[in-house]
Structure 1
Amino acid sequence: MLYTMLLRAISVLSFRTFTQGVRELERFHHRIETTTLPIPEELNKRKRIILGELRERTLWFISLRWWVPPSIAAACAAGSLAKVQFAALPVLAVALFILAYNGLFYAHSKLMQQQLEWQPELVQRFTHCQVALDYTAMFLLIHFTGGASSPLIFFFIFHIIFASILLRPLTAYGFASLAAVGMTIISAAEYQGWLRQYPVIYRENFINLIDSPFHLLVTLGFFSMSVFITAFLTTAIMIMLRKRIVSLAELSERLTDLNKKLNSLYMMTQTILSTPRLDQVLGKVVTELAQVMNVQGSSVKLLSEDGKQLRYAAVHGLPVEWTNNKVVEVDKSPLNRRIIEGEPFVTGHATQREMFQFGEDLVAAQLQSVLFVPLMVEKRVTGILGAYCRLHDRFHEEDVEFFRQSAGLVAVALENARAYEAVEKLLRDRSWFMMRVAHNLRAPVSAIASILDVVRSGYLGELNPDQNEYLRRVDRRARTMLQIIEELMILATSSRQERALAFASIDVIELARRIRRTFQDEAAQKGLSFAVTVPDQAPAIRGDFEMIEQMLENLISNAIKYSPAGGNVNVVFSLTNNDTVRIEVSDNGIGIPKADMPRLFSEFFRAENARSIEEHGTGLGLAIVKEIVEQHEGRILVESEEGFGTIFVVHLPVARKEEKQ
């Protein structure tokens, strides 16, 4: 009857010891099952933390319990050696009992660890059984080692300390109460003779508080005070520590959030630097902002040049019909007018009564919180950056500050993208003008060259030496002009094509064969050694065959032109480790002065030593080479020393599998 009462008390209290963790976990489950919004990752993270803590706590008790039976056996052996008389067999039986049920707990924990996720009710029952059996074993040990006179009664303090550290304050006081009440019940039962006494005897002396009720009451009183004081002090310390832990956790969350936002700003900066086009920049920015702020949508509205209208330039997470071709009239929207004047706006309860021109759209989309900040560059507003969320009062002061910084980056991106588009337009206009002028000049200059051929051939009569010399000079100038016109048309055509070229697979061996055939006679006539080297298993190049051939012709013709008789011109094809074909064109000609290297690929530029060898030249050949290489997503390098020759190295990507087919 007595042990039944004790076990019931232990069961009730052990249930309460684990309840706070399980209840908190159940609240997480309830929120997950009842909410209609997407569950934030932070909520799932905290759920996993709670489950992990409960799991580690349970497994730690099992590991600690393995030391109890050997300690009891060692204490029994030491007592026997010291001639201490006590009920050793019942005590050892309790030790075996602890060893047995801990083995069962260990086996059960292994089965539970195989599960991907522990269920709260399973953890609850598991811990319930552990606490109940531990307290049963503790009371049995005390009973078999003297009852109220047992030296083990103060071992309860360890349980109180563990409870105060791991559990709530009320639970720790509950353990203290259970220890005090349990000891009182055992003492009363032994005093009344309901339980047999098992005294600890040393040299025929033993302490038996049952025979002295006063001393028994004093001992129980001090024991009760000890456990409650232990619970109070440990709990007070743990309350302070928990507050510090909560404070550190909040600080850690803020630092994590700040790091996430800083990383987002860095990613936006990288996007701005790597993506020059306006639509691409804005699309990536609004997506990044919506993700880092964990909101439903974000938008960028651009202000018209006259400042009267706002149009949606980029959106993320908002209904298409909500922003498609929708224009906000600034005069009809006091809110947007205030933002354009430089004042940010934030609200956590957006309704139709707010100053929104399309407030009903917010209500229809169930968007409760909005945040708008102006896009400003040098005190000039170019648009509005917005964020939208379905939660009430979602945005706080730190969100506004982060959005201000983001708006500054977006405004810079807008200016850079617009400047890039303006430069592109200028380049297109220049290419169109070059094409137009070259086209209009080519026909008359070709006619002049043809007429000069007729006159110099004597068809209109014999020419004296002076007339023939003057006509020769005119013909040379006309053909130089015709070459300039042809190269201008090539440069304009390549610039206008941009990246709309139909790339295909280029056979490197065939390309090398054509280059060799084109220049071998010219090099031989000048007394140059000309060689083209290509590996037998050379991979195909991705590009336009005619443009690649023209690029190589420009490089090789320059090498032959500026190399003295007896020199060497070599073209070498090879494969690199990064899936590119390396093409090297080298000579031992006049080289390039160091001062002229920075302007080498500029249009109409010629080095001074090149002018001394050939007075007339277009200065467009290397500009065309650079344009073609860039259009093929390649790169060109040059090494040169005046008087010792020049090496041009071009890297072009190999063909893709689908292009090879």
Structure 2
Amino acid sequence: MSGFLTASTALLGIAVIALAARLRKRSRQLDYLHGKLNAILDKGTNERLLIFDSDARVGRLLIDLNRLLDHAHRTGARYANQEIEIRRMLSNISHDLKTPLTVVLGYSEILLHDRGLAEREREAMTANIQDKAQEVLRLVHSFFDLAKLEAGDTEMTLSRVNASELCRLKLLSFYDMLSSLEMKLELSMPDEDLYVMADSEALERVLDNLITNAMKYGADGKLLGLTLKRTDDGKTALQVWDKGKGIPETEHRRVFERMYTLEDSRNRLYQGSGLGLTITKRLIERMGGTIVLHSVPWERTVFTVVLKSG
């Protein structure tokens, strides 16, 4: 009996020692997790937690913590990118508003103080003031429209729209501008009319923006094309393309950002606010469609819009 008690006591002692060792190990692990988490959060690093342990519960905890760290890192990166985008947008807004307003103020000053102006000069300055004031108004409207789109406040009703007829009418409305730029037009679409599910006003604005963009960036190529066709999966693709200097591949992901413009596009005949393509993308997405860009300089720069067929 005494031998049995002695053996039991020994086993109990071993169990207690093993339990104490396990508790010390767990305590060190918890201390490590506490210290590592605080270091990662304080320094904002992209490190991850790593512990080798056979306990499945500890493994699950580590997986959950690392997922949380990944989420925090992605959120922080998005926030940093948004901060950069907002600063760039405010800078561009300031530039685009300051330029026409400076012209307005300059001409107004002359009109107010120079009594010796000829009537023809006075009329020309007044016309320039009117043009620049309209430019500021269009820019403000663009900001307002984008804000409404991103807030989901823009009402949009999808219906069966004759895309073929809309494309023909839209190109006709741009004919004089294209002629002034000496740009030829290439139109490709089936003999039968193609219909899409869209908001007619939104689709018209999409075409306005894409054609204007092609004239602004692709005028040197002297050719503007519009293609309308069915896709293999039964949808309808609308392509607006040109053969100008194109958009560098490094810039493709940025063209739909707010206030983005290629630097050498500023101060040209069809200078934009940098909001046209952003608004275009938002409108297409609201209609359940997609838009992509493919550009090879001096060969073909094409924006492809895909919508559900009507």
d(CA) in 1 for partners of 2:38, 2:190: 58
Q: Encode CA deviations 1:21-79: one digit per residue, 9 max, x unaligned.
A: xxxxxxxxxxxxxxxxxxxxxxxxxxxxxxxxxxxxxxxxxxxxxxxxxxxxxxxxxxx
Alignment of 1:244-643 (within 5 A): 398-412=55-69, 415=72, 463-497=118-152, 502-524=157-179, 526-536=181-191, 540-561=195-216, 567-592=222-247, 599-611=254-266, 613-614=268-269, 616-631=271-286, 632-641=288-297
Q: What residue ranges of structure 2 are gaps of 5+ in the alignment?
A: 1-28, 42-52, 112-116
d(CA) in 2 for partners of 1:639, 1:603: 20
Indicate conservation of the 8 Å contact 1:629/1:636, yes or no. no
Structure 2 equivalent of residue 128 of structure 1: none
Name the CA shift for 1:492/1:576 in 2 (closer, same or farther; >3 Å): same
Q: How far is the alpha carbon of 1:554 from its aligned partner? A: 0.9
Structure 2 equivalent of residue 647 of structure 1: 301
Indicate conservation of the 8 Å contact 2:216/2:270, yes or no. no
Name the CA shift for 1:418/1:587 in 2 (closer, same or farther; >3 Å): closer
Q: Secondary structure at the match of 2:174?
A: helix
d(CA) in 1 for partners of 2:270, 2:306: 33
Structure 2 equivalent of residue 26 of structure 1: none
Indicate conservation of the 8 Å contact 1:579/1:653, yes or no. no
d(CA) in 1 for partners of 2:265, 2:227: 24
d(CA) in 2 for partners of 1:378, 1:536: 67
Percent identity of equivalent pairs: 18
Q: What residue ranges of structure 1 are gaps of 5+ in the alignment?
A: 1-341, 344-372, 382-395, 456-461
**Structure number, greater radius of gyration:** 1
Q: Secondary structure at the match of 2:266?
A: helix
Name the CA shift for 1:411/1:603 in 2 (closer, same or farther; >3 Å): closer
For 1:480, give the aligned amino acid.
E
Q: How far is the alpha carbon of 1:591 from its aligned partner? A: 3.8
Q: How far is the alpha carbon of 1:589 from its aligned partner? A: 3.9
For 1:532, give the aligned amino acid.
L
Q: How far is the alpha carbon of 1:406 from its aligned partner? A: 3.3
- How many corresponding residue pairs? 250
Indicate conservation of the 8 Å contact 2:281/2:290, yes or no. no
Indicate conservation of the 8 Å contact 1:533/1:571, yes or no. yes
Q: Aligned Cα RMSD in Å?
A: 4.9
Q: How far is the alpha carbon of 1:475 from its aligned partner? A: 2.9
Query: Could you state the TM-score of these two structures normalised by the residue count of structure 1?
Result: 0.31
Indicate conservation of the 8 Å contact 1:602/1:623, yes or no. yes
Alignment of 1:94-109 (within 5 A): none
d(CA) in 2 for partners of 1:653, 1:537: 17
Q: Encode CA deviations 1:360-413: one digit per residue, 9 max, x unaligned.
A: xxxxxxxxxxxxx99x965789xxxxxxxxxxxxxx964313322332244246
Indicate conservation of the 8 Å contact 2:182/2:222, yes or no. yes
Q: Secondary structure at the match of 1:406?
A: helix
Higher relative contact order (CA 8 A, sep 6+): 2
Indicate conservation of the 8 Å contact 1:504/1:543, yes or no. yes
Q: How far is the alpha carbon of 1:525 from its aligned partner? A: 5.3
d(CA) in 2 for partners of 1:613, 1:645: 22
For 2:171, give the aligned amino acid.
R
Name the CA shift for 1:524/1:465 in 2 (closer, same or farther; >3 Å): closer
Indicate conservation of the 8 Å contact 1:585/1:649, yes or no. yes
